[in-house]
C-alpha cells in the first residue's frame, strides 16, 4: 500500500484541507499577530474573506478586554488554553473557548483557535441533569393535588354566597395558572423529543409571527428579511414554531416600553462548517441560521450567562422557563441558540442554527 493512502478513505487530505474542514475558527499568526491564513470558519466569524483577513492584526478584530489575553498573545512562545473568554467582535459581545499553539519549528509563529463558548452545554449531559431532574420531578409531585384543589374550588363556588364567589373563582384561576406552569415544566423535563422531518423554515416562522403579531403592542412592528433560496430544514415544525413564538414574545415585551419598537427576523445560510454542534460524539452541521433582532434594552449583563437556565428571569412575574424550554427544544432537534448584544447599534440578537434536510 502506498504511503498516505487508506483502503477505505482514499488519499490522505493535505493539511490545508484539514484546516478548512475544522468546525472552529483557526488563524495562523506571525510574530506581529498579523493573520497569514484563515479557515472558512474564521471567515464566517469575522464576515470577511481569507484574502481580506490576511495581513490584519488579530487584536484589531477581536477585543479581549482586560483579561490579559492580549498581553499573553504577544509572548512569543506562550501556550494558552482558556474557556469562556468574553470578547467583542464587530461590536458584539461573544463568549469563546480559545487556544494558542506556538509553532516550535517556526519561532514567532502561532496558531490561534476560537470556538463558540456560549453553547458548550446545549446538548451535553450537564443539560440533561439540570432540565430533566428538578422540573420533571416537581411537576409530577404538584399536578395530582392541583386537580383536587380545583375541584374543591368549583364545589365551594356553588355553595358560598354571591359576594364570596369571586374568591372561589380566584382559587380556580390560580390553580389553572399553576397547571399551565406545570405543563411547561413537564415539557422541559421530557427526554422524548418530537420527531423531526423536512419542512419549509419560512412557513413555520410566518406562522409564529402571525400568532405573536395578533397580540403585539401597537408600538411594535414585526418584519422579515428572509433568504428565499434556503433549502428545507430537518427539525420539528411544531417545536420550532413554539421556539419562535417564545423568542418573538420576549422581544415584544422588551420593546413594549419604547416609542417605536422594531423586531426583525432574518434567515441565511452560513457556508462551510463554521456553524456546527458536537452532539453525542458526532459532528452535526447546522448551517441554517435564524436571527431574531429587536431594538429593546437587551438582557441584564449580570444575567446574560444564565438566561437559558430554568427559573432564571428578570421579568416581573416571570417564571424563567421560556428560554430554558427554547434551548431544550432546539437541542432535541440538533439545533442551537446563542445570544449577543450589539451595544453600538442598540440591538439584541438571538441566533438559532438548524440542520439541513438531506
Q: The dihedral of CA 327, 204, 94, 24: what is its sign?
A: positive
CB 297 within 8 A of CB 355: no
For 197-354, the fitting CATH number among 3.30.565.10, 3.40.50.1370, 3.30.1360.30, 2.60.120.260 is: 3.30.565.10
Q: What 8-state DSSP symbol labels residue 89?
A: E
Phi/psi of residue 311, nearest 5 degrees? 70, 15
CA-closest candidate to residue 274, choices 351, 174, 179, 342: 351
Query: What pLDDT does residue 181 have?
Result: 65
* Reported CATH class of domain 5-116: alpha beta
Enter the pTM of the model: 0.56
Instruction: Enumerate residue ranges in the chain where pLDDT < 50.
Output: 1, 4-7, 120-132, 273-281
Query: What pLDDT does residue 276 have?
Result: 46
What confidence tens digit (pLDDT) does each residue in 269-293 have?
Answer: 987 544 444 444 456 788 899 999 9
Query: Grid cell 402571525 — which residue?
Result: 210
3-class state of residue 357 by DSSP? coil
User: What HEC string does 277-325 produce?
Assistant: EEECCEEEECCEEEEEEECCCCCCCCCHHHCCCCCCCCCCCCCCCHHHH
Query: What pLDDT does residue 125 have?
Result: 41
Query: What pLDDT does residue 131 have?
Result: 45
What confidence tens digit (pLDDT) does each residue in 211-232 have?
Answer: 899 889 999 999 999 999 999 9
Strand partners, 336: 353
3-class state of residue 341 by DSSP? strand
Domain boundaries, the chain: 5-116, 125-189, 197-354
Amino acid at each position: 500500500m502506498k504511503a498516505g493512502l487508506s483502503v477505505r478513505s482514499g488519499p490522505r487530505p493535505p493539511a490545508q484541507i484539514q484546516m478548512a474542514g475544522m468546525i472552529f475558527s483557526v488563524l495562523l499568526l506571525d510574530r506581529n499577530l498579523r493573520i497569514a491564513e484563515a479557515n472558512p470558519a474564521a471567515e464566517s466569524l469575522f464576515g470577511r474573506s481569507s484574502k481580506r483577513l490576511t495581513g490584519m492584526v488579530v487584536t484589531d478584530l477581536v477585543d479581549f478586554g482586560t483579561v490579559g489575553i492580549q498581553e499573553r498573545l504577544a509572548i512569543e512562545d506562550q501556550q494558552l488554553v482558556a474557556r469562556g473568554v468574553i470578547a467583542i467582535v464587530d461590536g458584539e459581545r461573544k463568549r469563546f473557548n480559545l487556544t494558542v499553539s506556538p509553532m516550535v519549528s517556526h519561532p514567532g509563529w502561532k496558531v490561534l483557535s476560537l470556538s463558540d463558548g456560549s453553547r458548550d452545554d446545549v446538548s451535553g449531559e450537564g443539560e440533561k441533569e439540570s432540565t430533566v431532574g428538578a422540573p420533571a420531578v416537581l411537576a409530577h409531585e404538584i399536578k395530582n393535588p392541583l386537580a383536587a384543589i380545583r375541584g374543591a374550588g368549583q364545589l365551594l363556588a356553588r355553595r358560598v354566597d354571591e359576594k364570596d364567589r369571586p374568591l372561589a373563582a380566584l382559587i380556580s384561576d390560580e390553580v389553572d395558572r399553576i397547571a399551565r406552569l406545570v405543563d411547561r415544566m413537564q415539557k422541559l423535563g421530557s427526554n422524548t423529543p418530537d420527531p423531526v422531518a423536512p419542512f419549509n423554515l419560512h412557513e413555520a416562522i410566518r406562522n409564529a409571527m402571525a400568532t405573536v403579531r395578533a397580540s403585539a403592542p401597537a408600538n411594535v412592528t414585526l418584519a422579515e428579511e428572509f433568504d428565499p433560496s434556503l433549502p428545507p430544514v430537518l427539525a420539528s415544525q411544531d417545536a420550532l414554531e413554539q421556539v419562535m413564538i417564545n423568542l418573538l414574545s420576549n422581544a415584544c415585551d422588551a420593546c413594549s416600553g419604547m416609542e417605536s419598537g422594531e423586531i426583525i427576523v432574518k434567515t441565511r445560510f452560513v457556508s462551510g462548517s463554521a456553524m456546527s454542534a458536537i452532539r453525542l460524539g458526532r459532528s452535526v452541521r447546522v448551517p441554517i441560521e435564524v436571527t431574531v433582532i429587536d431594538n429593546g434594552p437587551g438582557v441584564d449583563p449580570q444575567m446574560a450567562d444564565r438566561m437559558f437556565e430554568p427559573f432564571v428571569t428578570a421579568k416581573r412575574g416571570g417564571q424563567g422557563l421560556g428560554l430554558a424550554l427554547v434551548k431544550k427544544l432546539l437541542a432535541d432537534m440538533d439545533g442551537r441558540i446563542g445570544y449577543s448584544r450589539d451595544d453600538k447599534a442598540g440591538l439584541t440578537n438571538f441566533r438559532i442554527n438548524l440542520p439541513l434536510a438531506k
